[in-house]
Amino acid sequence: MTASLTTDSVANSIYHNLITSIIQDIVSRQTVKQKLIKQQFPDAKPYHYDPSGTYDIHGKPKQADSAVYIECNVCGREVSGNRFAAHLVRCLSRGKR
């Protein structure tokens, strides 16, 4: 039996061939790029990916912004990291009064 060719089956076949060739082209280009990068930087360590968001790119647990304290160079106070910019504005404007 001969398979009947319909417009739908021909279009589907052409679409499948185009998508397959595009995907193969992308994969081959990315493979070449990856090999070149590995040749240029053989000691490079990949970033750590954590979909839950609890670790940073180095694989260490993230710290809350408020847990980081920065010492102000003007007055010497330790200020929370998320309040440092506001503190610095106030601290620098005190001398102008």
What CATH number should be reported for the domain holding residue 81?
3.30.160.60
What digits encode the pLDDT tens for the residues 85-95? 899 899 888 76
Number of structural domains the chain divides into: 2
**Is residue 50, in this structure, part of any structural domain at all?**
no
How much is the pTM?
0.45
**Is residue 57, in this structure, part of any structural domain at all?**
no
HSE-CB for 63 with a 13 A CA cutoff? 8
Predicted pLDDT of residue 74: 86
11 and 37 housed in the same domain: yes
**Is residue 1, in this structure, part of any structural domain at all?**
no
Q: What angle do CA 37, 54, 48 make, to 5 degrees?
A: 15
40 and 13 housed in the same domain: yes
**Is residue 55, in this structure, part of any structural domain at all?**
no
**Is residue 38, in this structure, part of any structural domain at all?**
yes
Predicted pLDDT of residue 2: 53
Give the C-alpha distances (Å, rounded to integers) separating 43 from 8, 27, 82, 83.
52, 24, 35, 38
Tell me what the mean pLDDT of segment 8-13 comes to: 94
HSE-CB for 67 with a 13 A CA cutoff? 4
- Owning domain of residue 72: 62-94
What digits encode the pLDDT tens for the residues 31-54? 999 999 999 998 887 777 788 888
Helix-strand-coil split of the chain, %, nearest 5 = 55, 10, 40
